[in-house]
Amino acid sequence: MSDGDLWTLYRSFLAVMREGSLSRGAESLKLSQPTLGRHIEALEAQLGGVPLFTRWPRGLMPTETAREMLPHVEAMNAGALAARRAASATRADEVSGTVRIAASETIGAEVLPGILARLRVRHPGLAFELSLSTRAEDLLRRDSDIAVRMVQPEQGSLLAVNTGIVKLGLYAHRAYAARHGVPATLADLASHAVIGFDRTNPFIDNASRKLKLDRAMFALRVDHELASLAALRAGFGLGVCQNPIAARDKDLLPVLTRDLVYTLGTWIVMHGDLKRVPRMRAVFDHLVREMRAYTKG
């Protein structure tokens, strides 16, 4: 079997691991379910007959072997995608081709579209891939080329530029305030609908301590930033929002501005080796300028 054929089998393995079933994995790859099933059987044969999945009522359960293989296959996939992006430029000195950017949901949906639109006016040969998640993308493994991060990276091989501090606060939609008023003190929050998190993590724990918010007080619990922001804009209740985003909407009213203030640092990050690639440097520098303007706004 050729390396190309073997990589096809690994891509099929990765799809099943990510989707949890043959049917969803086949759909993600635009293959038929029987074809994907044959790929998994062929890969198991290549590995000496080692089983990779066991069936259960909700789909396929990965074996321990499959779990151990996963990070290595993900690294292979990230490398293949990075190679494809590297080949997308027409000339080595031209600002064109594809750049993959990782960011949080809020930054990716609310901030980056305008920033990237302005950049593409100057460089119409650029194309962008946006990876929106609260999970930190691994730039060393080239999951993405550039990242907008709210936590300072620690790896020394990464080029990271601090672009300022984003302030967050508690807000109420004008329609909600008209129906229920707004709290005058922290104690008043107990009588209001508050939009907050569902599952906790270290970042949420830190923010909750500083913002003095507790899960038990939330009338809506959701871990997706855009859903939380949509609920705030719909007038469901009080919610946390980045101040520059709230400033664009005249219907969002700041609440308890002296008691509830939180800040997030912002960094534009990429692997140091990429600064020699014209399109990467152009996108990186543009993001630094624009995010500095955003944090000052």
Instruction: Tell me what pLDDT residue 101 has.
Output: 94
Q: Which residues of the chain fall below pLDDT 70?
A: 1-4, 57-58, 86-93, 134-142, 155-156, 200-214
pLDDT of 209:
60
Q: What is the pLDDT of residue 215?
A: 74
pLDDT of residue 140: 59
Evaluate the CA torsion angle 169, 258, 253, 189 in order and state its sign: positive
Provide the pLDDT for residue 20.
87
* C-beta separation of 135 from 203 below 8 A: no
pTM: 0.69
- Structural domains of the chain sorted by starting position, each given as residue range(s) with its CATH number in brackets: 3-86 (1.10.10.10), 93-297 (3.40.190.290)
pLDDT score, position 223: 86
Q: What is the pLDDT of residue 136?
A: 61
- Per DSSP, which regions of the chain are E strands? 53-56, 59-62, 97-103, 126-132, 146-149, 158-173, 194-196, 218-221, 239-242, 252-255, 261-271
